[in-house]
Amino acid sequence: DVGEPPKKVQVDQTGYVPGTPKRATLVSSATTPQAWSLKNAAGTTVATGRTTPKGVDAASGDPVHLIDFSSYDTAGTGYTLVVGEESSYPFDIGDDHLDKLRYDSLQFFYHQRSGTPIEAQYVGETYARPAGHINVAPNQGDKDVPCLTGVPCGYTLDVRGGWYDAGDHGKYVVNGGISAWQVLNTYERAKLAGTADALGDGKLAIPEKANGVPDVLDEARWEVEFLLKMQAPDGMVHHKIHDANWTALPTLPHEDPQPRRLSATSTAATLNMAAVAAQAARIWKGIDPEFSAKAQAAAVKAYAAAKANPDKIADPNDGTGGGAYSDTTFTDEFYWAAAELFTTTGEAAYRADVTGSPHYKGRSLNEGGFYWASTGPLGDITLALVPNGLPAADVAATRARFTQVADAHLQRIAEQGYPAAYWSEDGGYAWGSNGQVANNASVLALAHDFTGQAKYREGVYEVLHYLLGRNPTSYSYVTGYGDRPVENVHHRHWARQLDPTLPIAPPGVLSGGPNSALQDPIATRLLQGCKPQKCFVDHIEAYSLNEVTINWNSGLAWVASWAAEKAGG
C-alpha cells in the first residue's frame, strides 16, 4: 500500500499568507472553465470563481486548470476549495504555520546530532535516544578512527560529534559543510537585515538554549566543530567518516555495530571546510573570539593545503557503507572558500583569487541552483550580502545575476501546473529535487532582498506551496505539516513503518521528493514510466525518493525563516 489516490484539487495544505497570490490546481480534462467555490470552516461559501484551463502539464502529465482565489484575503482556518464533487484538503489563510516551520525545520538538526544523547527534556520521550558513535559496545564509535584499508594515513582522528547526514549514520564534509553554511547564512542574512531577533537565544529546544548565544548558531557550531576535527595534520580535510558496511533499517545510532572508517582527504572537503570555518570565524568574532580564531586558523591552513593539492578527487566508487559524494570540479569550491576568507580577513591574496575566478560576479549561478557539488553561488551570496571591499559595480553584477535567475524561475512558475521553480537540462527531476526547490526559492528570496520587488517575494510563497501540498502527489513533503504529510521517510530510527515501537519523523523534516531516475528498488518496482513530478512514493525503503538530509533541511530552514519574516509585509 502506497497511499490513497491524489486529490483533484491541489492546495498548500498548511496555508496562504494574507496579501499574497493564492492559487491552487484542479486536475480536469474539461476544456472549458469550471466553477470553483471557497468554503470556510463552517461550510459557507465565501468566494466563487472560474478556473482557467491550462492543458496537459509537462512535469506532471496532468490535465490542469488554474484556480486563482487571491481576491479572498480574510485570515482564518479550515478553508477548502471545491469544484463539483471534488474538494481540497483544508488550509489556513494566515502565517502561523510559517512561524512554526522556521523553528521545526531548525530543530531537525538537534535530532541528527552524533556523539551525544538526544535528551527527553528537549525533544520528549518519543525522540530521546542514547548517544551514538562514542565507543560504547556494540557501537564502534568515532574516536581514534583509522583511515580506510588501502589508504592508510599513519594516524587516527577523534571525529566524534557533528550531524548524521541523513537516514544513514555517515558524516560527509562536503554535505555537512554546505548545510552548516546555510544554517549560518540564515542567521547572518537576518542579522544584516536587522531581523535576527526572531533567531535569538531560547528559540530552539537544545542544551544551549539559555547560554546567551542564538540557538541557530549553537546548533551550527555542533557541526562546525566536527568539520574542524576532520582536518589532517597537513591541513587537508578527510572527505567523510562512515560505517565499513551499510546497516539495515532500523538501526539506532548507539546500536550500530559496524566499524567506522575515515576516507582519504580530498580537495573538495578541504575547501568546503575552509569556506565554512572562515564564515564561522566572522560570525563568532564578537561572540567567542577564541573559537573564531581557531576556526580562522583552520580555514587558512586548509585553503593553503588545497592550493598545494588542487586535484585530489574523492573516490567515486567508494559507496560501501556510506555515500560517495565525489566531485571532480573544484573551481567553484576554490571560489567559495576564497570569497569567505576574503570577506572575513580582507586580505589581498584571497581578493585576487575571488576576482580572478571564472565564477566571479555570479557567473556560475543558473536555474540549476546550487548543491553539494556546485557551491559557487554560496560564495556569491556571501559577497552579495556581507559588506566587503569589492567594487560596488561587481557586487551589483552579482546581485543582478540572482534577479536574472529569479526571473527565469518566475517564468517557469507561471507556466507550470504545479509551480516548483525546478529546472534540469533534460526535464527530469533528480535525487533530492525538493532540496533544490527550496534552494531555488532562496534565490527568489535574495532577489527580493536585493530589489524589493514584490514579484520575487510572491514567488517564494508560490514555491513553498508546492512543497506543502500543491503538487500532483497530494503529499505535503514536510513531515507533520498539512493533512497528508509524508510519514515513512527513509531514516534509520524514524522507522515506524518497519517497527511499530519506533516513531515517525518529528515535524518539519523535508523529504527528498520526486526523482525520475528511479534509483532504488521500490522506485523501479512502482514507478516505471512516471512523469517527473509524480516519481514519488512515501515508502521508507525508497531511499532515492523519500530520504531526509541535513542539506535539504538547511534549504527548507533558510526559506521558511525568510518566509516567516516576510509574511507580515
Cα–Cα dist 282/287, whole Å: 10
Answer whether 551's CB lies under 8 Å from 371's CB.
Answer: yes
Measured from the CB atom, is 104 or 327 closer to ligand 9MR? 327
Would residue 491 show up in a list of annotated catalytic residues for this protein? no
* Smallest separation, CB 551 to ligand 9MR (Å): 7
Instruction: For Cα atoms 565, 512, 333, give the angle at the middle one, nearest 5 degrees.
Output: 75
Q: How far is the CB of 258 from ligand 9MR (least distance, A)?
A: 15
Please enumerate in sequence order all residues whose Cβ is within 8 A of that of 403, keeping only pairs 6 or more positions apart, or say none: 447, 450, 451, 456
Q: How far is the CB of 265 from ligand 9MR (least distance, A)?
A: 18
DSSP per residue over 268-334, as a string?
A: HHHHHHHHHHHHHHHHHTTT-HHHHHHHHHHHHHHHHHHHHSTT----TT--SSS--------HHHH
Which of 104, 538, 539, 565 is catalytic? The answer is 538
The nearer residue to ligand 9MR, 46 or 324, going by C-beta atoms, is: 324
| The three grid cell numbers given for residue 72, joined into one nine-digit string | 479572498
Q: How far is the CB of 337 from ligand 9MR (least distance, A)?
A: 21
Q: How far apart are CA 402 and CA 380, in angstroms?
A: 9
Whole-angstrom Cα distance, residue 452 to residue 454?
A: 6
Q: Which stretch binds ligand 9MR (CB under 6 A): 202-210, 322-330, 414-422, 455-463?
A: 322-330
Q: Say which amino acid occupies 132.
A: G
Span from 24-32, 95-103, 104-112, 323-331 in contact with ligand 9MR (CB under 6 A)? 323-331
Burial per residue of 467-498, b for 16 or more beta-carbon CB atoms within 10 angstroms, e otherwise: bbbbbbbbbbbbbbbbebbbbbbbbbbbbbbe
Cβ-closest position to ligand 9MR: 323
Stretch that binds ligand 9MR, among 34-42, 164-172, 243-251, 448-456 (CB under 6 A): 164-172
Binding residue for ligand 9MR, selected from 12, 62, 104, 165, defined by CB under 6 A: 165
**DSSP string of 397-416?**
HHHHHHHHHHHHHHHHHHH-
| 170-189 binders of ligand 9MR (CB under 6 A) | 170
Helix (H) or strand (E) holding 395: helix 392-415
String of contacts with ligand 9MR for each residue 509-548, x by CB under 6 A? ----------------------------------x---x-
Q: How far is the CB of 187 from ligand 9MR (least distance, A)?
A: 24
Residue tagged active-site, from 254, 359, 448, 490: 490
| Residue nearer to ligand 9MR on the CB measure, 14 or 436 | 436
Which three cell numbers, joined as nine digits, stand for 119?
535528551
Shortest approach of ligand 9MR to residue 145 CB, angstroms? 18
Nearer to ligand 9MR, 379 or 555 (CB): 555
Tell me the closest approach of the beta carbon of residue 385 to ligand 9MR, in angstroms: 26
Positive or negative, the CA dihedral 512, 514, 517, 521 is positive
Least distance CB 430 / ligand 9MR (angstroms): 7
Q: CB-wise, 166 or 305, nearer to ligand 9MR?
A: 166
| Residue in 301, 388, 395, 304 with CA at minimum distance from that of residue 340 | 388
Q: Output 137 or 248, the one with its CB closest to ligand 9MR.
A: 248
Catalytic member of 168, 353, 462, 565: 168
Q: Is 409 a catalytic residue?
A: no
Residue 426: active-site member:
no
Cα 454 to Cα 231: distance, rounded to the nearest angstrom:
44
**Binding segment toward ligand 9MR, per CB under 6 A, in 13-21, 52-60, 76-84, 317-325:** 317-325
Closer to ligand 9MR by Cβ: residue 167 or 417:
167
CA–CA distance, 111 with 98 (Å, rounded to integer): 20
Closest distance between ligand 9MR and the C-beta of residue 172, in Å?
7
Q: Of 4, 10, 3, 1, which Cα lies nearest the Cα of 418? A: 10
Q: For the CB of residue 194, give the shortest distance to ligand 9MR in the complex, in Å.
A: 34
- With CB under 6 A as the contact rule, the residue among 26, 27, 166, 523 that binds ligand 9MR is 166
Give min distance, CB of 441 to ligand 9MR, in A. 18
In the set 168, 208, 458, 538, which binds ligand 9MR (CB under 6 A)?
168
**Binding residues for ligand 9MR, how many (CB under 6 A)?**
12
Query: Which of residues 94 and 250 has its CB atom nearest to ligand 9MR in the complex?
Result: 250
Angle at 401 between CA 400 and CA 406, to 5 degrees: 95
Which residues from 29-48 bind ligand 9MR, rule CB under 6 A? Answer: none
Q: Is 482 in the site for ligand 9MR (CB under 6 A)?
A: no
Total residue count of the chain as it appears in this document: 569
Q: Which C-beta is closer to ligand 9MR: that of 172 or that of 336?
A: 172
Question: Between residue 418 and residue 457, which ones bind ligand 9MR under the rule CB under 6 A?
Answer: 431-432
Closest by CA position to 326, among listed 372, 387, 289: 372
Q: By the 8 A CB rule, do 161 and 279 touch? A: no
Give the whole-angstrom CA distance, residue 190 versus residue 99: 15
**Active-site annotation holder among 340, 367, 487, 547:** 547
Task: Round to whole Å and give the CA distance between 196 and 192.
Answer: 8
Q: Does 549 sit near ligand 9MR (CB under 6 A)?
A: yes
Is residue 462 within the footprint of ligand 9MR (CB under 6 A)?
Answer: no
Assess 243 for contact with ligand 9MR (CB under 6 A): no
Exposure of 10 by Cβ count < 10 A (0-12 exposed, 13-18 middle, 19+ buried)? Answer: buried
The interface region with ligand 9MR, picked from 126-134, 166-174, 190-198, 500-508 by CB under 6 A, is 166-174
Strands 91-93 and 15-16: parallel
323 binds ligand 9MR (CB under 6 A): yes
Cβ-count burial of 528 within 10 angstroms (0-12 exposed, 13-18 middle, 19+ buried)? Answer: exposed
Output phi, psi for 488, to 5 deg.
-105, 50
Active site residue 541: no
Which positions lie near ligand 9MR, rule CB under 6 A? 165-166, 168, 170, 323-325, 431-432, 543, 547, 549
Catalytic residues, by residue number, are 168, 490, 538, 547
